[in-house]
Amino acid sequence: MNERRNRQISGVVGAFLVLIAAALLLLSAPFLEAPVEFGQALVFGLAGVSDIVAATDTRLTNRWAWYQWSGLGNILLGLAFPLTFADNGLLLLLVVTAVGGLSLVIMGVDMLVYHGQYTREKRLDRNGV
């Protein structure tokens, strides 16, 4: 896949995550009654915003490359998944979503810190990208 396609996908995923966050905030109990749900919605929203930033050319993408913003979005998304089962007492589902979330966090750290060196064939910060 080329950079343009990856950025388009990042934008679509980001918009979807922002919509999920908005729905969670509208449908959840007030903040003081359900702080974990509020926190999850907030993290989903931040993940979506990071992916939207990755899809656009702004001053933010001049500071960090698009794939670093996408990596940050992956990290936040990976952290948000286990929050679904944090209060439910469903330990098995909490563990399963935590393992899945951890894989997203690891891939996100690779993109953010190591420029995709371990999850891509070549580092994304090389010339010509």
Tens digits of per-residue pLDDT, 20-73? 999 988 887 776 777 888 888 999 999 999 999 999 999 999 899 999 999 999
Residue 129 belongs to some domain of the structure: no
Residue 124 belongs to some domain of the structure: no
Residue 121 belongs to some domain of the structure: no
Residue 126 belongs to some domain of the structure: no
Which element (helix H / strand E) includes 88? none
Can you give the pTM of this predicted structure?
Answer: 0.87
Residue 79 belongs to some domain of the structure: yes
Residue 37 belongs to some domain of the structure: yes
Domain span holding position 30: 3-114
Residue 13 belongs to some domain of the structure: yes
Number of domains the chain contains: 1
What is the average per-residue pLDDT within 6-12? 93
What is the average per-residue pLDDT within 83-103? 84
Enumerate the H helices of the chain as residue ranges.
3-27, 35-55, 59-63, 66-80, 91-113
Work out the pLDDT band at 127, boundaries 50, 70, 90: low
87: pLDDT strictly greater than 80: no
Work out the pLDDT band at 1, boundaries 50, 70, 90: low
Top-confidence residue, 35 or 74: 74
Residue 123 belongs to some domain of the structure: no
What DSSP string runs through 23-60?
HHHHHSPPTTT-HHHHHHHHHHHHHHHHHHHHHS-SHH
